[in-house]
Amino acid sequence: MSQKIITAKVIISAWDKEPLFEGALVIEGEVIKDIGPQEKILKLYPEAQVFDFAQNGMVFPGLVNAHTHCSMTIFRGLADDLPLMSWLENYIFPVEKHLKPRWVYWGAKLAVAEMLRSGVTLFADMYIFEPEVIRVVEETGIRGLLGEGLFDFPSPGYGPLEKGLALTESLLRDFERHPRLKIMVCPHATYTCGPETLKKAKALAERFGARVHIHLSENRDEINMIEARYGKRPPEHLLDIGLLDENLLIAHGVELNKSEIDLLSRYQVKVAHCPESNLKLASGIAPVPAMLEAGITVALGTDGPASNNDLDLLGEMRTATLIQKGTHLEATVLPARQVLGLATELGAKALGFEQCGRLEPGYAADLAVLDLTKSHLTPLYDPFSLLVYSAKSGDIAAVMVGGDFLLYEGQIKSLDEDQTRGEVLAISQEIRDLLRQKG
Ligand SMILES: [Zn+2]
């Protein structure tokens, strides 16, 4: 089996380990085989092909974007600074009614380029026409946990709900043994899916041991709506329907009280925290330190790029820690190391990719290399601080998924970025025309 060696100025093998300076990683096939000092590793594996970042590279585990609707790159900047409901009802929903598979495909392709350039190697995605996103994941080599968004009302993607469930089932079957791709069942939210839909989604997921992914407790309006409809708050509503368990991944979890945090912890529910989307849509700030304290697996997500407006996980890490410090009036809360943990090992665990998130023997060779030659990345005292507080998405020199370089020497393999940008620009003109016709 082919062996590769990556040498680096410094390697962060895991968020809870000390960084290794002048280190080297050995990759055999798709996994990490060894890690150690450069001199020793180069002697031990003389046949391996060497990729040299020894002067200016910092290697770290590939980042995990735990919640997005990545094809919404096509709506980036279409309408901003609006309340959630008028943004949705006047702009997003009217255009999504006319959504085309081709739009979702090119939107996802642009998104994968953007994510790779910010060091993302695994992402969770829920959208309409999700088979198009699946196609992009297959073509590009990135890892994904993907699912078609399910609603009580007809979807432009599949029509009536029953067809959405059938589509999800066939995807679960088709990709049961895929090395990089898993399917999840995605009832959109408790206000778009009634109890019957949620029960059907859960039953389907259970047959395949799959994740269920849902937006939950995102803002006060949602709490009020669910309380008015069912006489209880969203977590208790899901408990009564039977959805709470270790296979449930919720997005947001902003409006959670102490007893709800305990409830989610007891049932080992996973949470995808999306700080920038929560700030932009004025939803609030999730109680991340309290969730971590309670032992909840908290991951980090960007949410759709139309409510962020980017897919930059490095920026998301920085926002996640800064907003907690600012609201707790406590500088020690959610330190750089811990927030990297959310974006790597905890993210991978939340998505059910237990083999990812650390660079240790036996783990998947999913990693990114930071280019240390930049002015704003100089000098280097603490690798964790540098990564979380100073690094930006343009600083990533290389990205590897499953032992293959997807980004190397400035080029993304198996994805033509110029063509992709051109296609999305053309789509944005179609969207402009559509909105103009609506007047
Ligand atoms: Zn979302």
User: pLDDT by residue (tens digit) across 344-353?
Assistant: 999 999 999 9
The answer on 394 and 286 residing in a single domain is no
* CATH number of residue 79's parent domain: 3.20.20.140
The answer on 133 and 21 residing in a single domain is no
Residue 175 has pLDDT above 80, yes or no: yes
Distance (Å) from CA 67 to ligand 1 centroid: 6
Residue 423 lies in a domain: no
Which contiguous run of DSSP H or E holds residue 250?
strand 248-252
The three-state secondary structure class of 300 is strand
Residue 324 lies in a domain: yes
Residue 59 has pLDDT above 70, yes or no: yes
Rg over alpha carbons for the chain, rounded to the nearest Å, is 21
Distance (Å) from CA 271 to ligand 1 centroid: 12
The answer on 71 and 57 residing in a single domain is no
Residue 160 lies in a domain: yes
Residue 418 lies in a domain: no
Quick one: average pLDDT of 201-224? 97
Residue 213 lies in a domain: yes
The answer on 8 and 78 residing in a single domain is no
Distance (Å) from CA 394 to ligand 1 centroid: 25
Q: What is the pLDDT of residue 261?
A: 98
Residue 439 has pLDDT above 70, yes or no: no
Euclidean distance between CA atoms 16 and 313, whole angstroms: 19
Q: What is the pLDDT of residue 87?
A: 84
Please provide the average confidence, as pLDDT, over all residues in the chain.
97
The answer on 50 and 181 residing in a single domain is no
* CATH number of residue 13's parent domain: 2.30.40.10
Which contiguous run of DSSP H or E holds residue 150?
strand 143-150
The answer on 193 and 121 residing in a single domain is yes
Give helix 234-241 / helix 220-230 axis angle, nearest 10°.
50
Give the model confidence (pLDDT) of 105-164 as tens digits: 999 999 999 999 999 999 999 999 999 999 999 999 999 999 999 999 999 999 999 999
Alpha helices in 37-143 (DSSP H): 38-44, 84-87, 93-96, 101-117, 130-140
Distance (Å) from CA 152 to ligand 1 centroid: 17
- Residue 42 φ/ψ, nearest 5 degrees: -65, -30
The answer on 235 and 278 residing in a single domain is yes
pLDDT > 90 fraction of the chain, expressed in percent and rounded: 94
Of 2-16, 34-48, 76-90, 313-327, the range with the lowest mean pLDDT is: 76-90
The answer on 67 and 56 residing in a single domain is no
Question: Cis ω on the peptide bond leading into residue 257 (within 30° of 0)?
Answer: no
Distance (Å) from CA 301 to ligand 1 centroid: 9
Residue 253 lies in a domain: yes
Give the model confidence (pLDDT) of 229-281 as tens digits: 999 999 999 999 999 999 999 999 999 999 999 999 999 999 999 999 999 99
Distance (Å) from CA 68 to ligand 1 centroid: 6
Distance (Å) from CA 9 to ligand 1 centroid: 37
The answer on 67 and 50 residing in a single domain is no
Distance (Å) from CA 221 to ligand 1 centroid: 15
Residue 416 lies in a domain: no
The answer on 158 and 19 residing in a single domain is no
Q: Both tokens of residue 416?
A: 């033509």
Give the model confidence (pLDDT) of 404-420 as tens digits: 999 999 999 989 999 99
Q: What is the pLDDT of residue 75?
A: 96
The answer on 206 and 184 residing in a single domain is yes
Quick one: average pLDDT of 64-87? 92
Range of the domain at 37: 3-61+364-408
Give the model confidence (pLDDT) of 356-368 as tens digits: 999 999 999 999 9
Distance (Å) from CA 389 to ligand 1 centroid: 25
Distance (Å) from CA 251 to ligand 1 centroid: 7
- The number of domains in the chain is 2
Q: What is the pLDDT of residue 21?
A: 98
Residue 355 lies in a domain: no
Q: Both tokens of residue 43?
A: 């002697």
The answer on 71 and 51 residing in a single domain is no
Distance (Å) from CA 384 to ligand 1 centroid: 28
**Which of 306, 326, 350 is the last residue before a domain boundary?**
350
pLDDT > 70 fraction of the chain, expressed in percent and rounded: 100
The three-state secondary structure class of 56 is strand
Distance (Å) from CA 362 to ligand 1 centroid: 33
Residue 84 has pLDDT above 80, yes or no: no
Q: What is the pLDDT of residue 425?
A: 98
Distance (Å) from CA 316 to ligand 1 centroid: 15
- Number of residues in the chain: 439
Tell how many helices (H) and how many strands (E) occur in the chain. Answer: 17, 17
Euclidean distance between CA atoms 192 and 232, whole angstroms: 16
The pLDDT-based confidence of 284 (bands split at 50, 70, 90) is: very high
Distance (Å) from CA 250 to ligand 1 centroid: 10
